[in-house]
Every structure is written in structure tokens, then in C-alpha cells.
Amino acid sequence: MTVVRPEIHVRKGGEKRLAAEAFSGLVSDILSRGKKVRFKAAGGSMSPFVKDGDIVSISPLKSGKPRLGDVVGFINPASSGLALHRLVGETSRGYLIRGDNSLEPDGEIDGRRILGRMTSIERDGRKMKMERYPQRLLIALLSRAGFLRGVVSGLRKVFRRAGAK
């Protein structure tokens, strides 16, 4: 699972660390005030789209509701910490959330646990391109069906072979 390292990036003075619950509370408070939050992602469950150590920005949900394919920051019911995964479905009681590189979905998440949507990614100091909505939708559908990991793995092999030639 791509979780959030309990760190706050400060422009001057380096990083400040907080406990996971305190960090998720702080992020929730900042987003509820309509402000964007930047932090360092940890883990490989969203690879290759979000990698361990990427700096991501989460913005408040302007429409009040996330869309299928959005990468959302949410409070994980199991840990009470902040997690970052893709919305892959909607049910009458909530949302289905899954990491792009996860074997299993997180299950159904109450919409009140979703804090915001990922709006930017920085990797090695460079701003990465975000997928457009049709691409996010396709990724979500492949992920929900359990095919995304296989598709990504196959593409990696093709690109490795092409690079070796």
C-alpha cells in the first residue's frame, strides 16, 4: 500500500516528522480549509504511476465527489493513517479503492474518509505529467478487473527488450 511517510516538507529547515494519525489529521484539516498539501509518498502499491519517494500534491475535492480513476488521499480504516490509491468503483455505500500495483483492493471506503485528489507528482525534482481523465478511467477499469499489474509488467518487458537492441 502506498502510505504517506509521516513527514511535512518545510521550505527552510528540512523535514519535520509527525506520527501517522497526527499527520492524517493535519492533512485533513488543511484540505478542509481549501488548501493543497504536498508530501512524500512511500511504498510501491501505486507504482509505476506514483513511486516511493515521489512528492505528491493533494487538493481538496472541489466538486465534493471524486471521479472514477482519480488517485485519492484517504484515511485508511485499518491504520487511521493517510493512504494514496486509485478510485476504481462506486457502490451505494461508498467507493472501491485499489493501489495500481496491489494484489487486492482496499475494499469499500466510506466517502467521508476521502480527503482529496492527487493533482501533481514530482520525481527527482521534475514535475511529472499526470494522466488525463480517459487514461485514468482506463487504468481504473484495468485495476478493478485485476489486469493492470499484468499489463504494466508486460509493457516493462517489451520496453526492456526494445532498449537492449
Q: What's the rounded Cα separation, in Å, for the pair 54 and 112?
A: 26
- pLDDT classification of 88: cutoffs 50, 70, 90: very high
Report, as an integer, the average pLDDT of 77-94.
90
Domain residue limits at 39: 3-164
Q: Which residue has the higher pLDDT, 36 or 155?
A: 36
pTM, two decimals, is: 0.80
CATH assignment at residue 133: 2.10.109.10
Residue 17: pLDDT over 80: no
Q: How many residues does the chain have?
A: 165
**What percent of the chain has a predicted confidence (pLDDT) above 90?**
40
> How far is Cα 135 from Cα 139, in angstroms, rounded to an integer?
6
Residue 117 has a CB neighbour count (10 Å cut-off) of 20
pLDDT tier at 15, thresholds 50, 70, 90: low
Number of domains the chain is built from: 1
Contacts of 129 (CB under 8 A, 6+ apart): none
Residue 54 has pLDDT above 80, yes or no: yes
| Coil/strand/helix, residue 150 | helix
Higher pLDDT, 10 or 65: 65
Local confidence band at 10 (pLDDT 50, 70, 90 cut-offs): very low
Rounded-to-integer distance, Cα 74 and Cα 117, Å:
9
Residue range 143-155: average pLDDT?
Answer: 81
Nearest of 64, 18, 58 to residue 38 by alpha carbon: 58
Residue 1 has pLDDT above 60, yes or no: no
9: Cα separation from own chain's centroid: 18
Distance of CA 41 to the CA centre of its chain: 8
Contacts of 60 (CB under 8 A, 6+ apart): 31, 32, 34, 35, 36, 115, 116
Q: Worst-scoring range by mean pLDDT, 11-15, 33-37, 81-85, 138-142?
A: 11-15
pLDDT confidence tier of residue 117, bands split at 50, 70 and 90: very high
Average pLDDT of the chain is 84
Distance CA 114, CA 129 (A): 23
- How far apart, in Å, are the Cα atoms of 125 and each of 24, 43, 153? 24, 19, 26
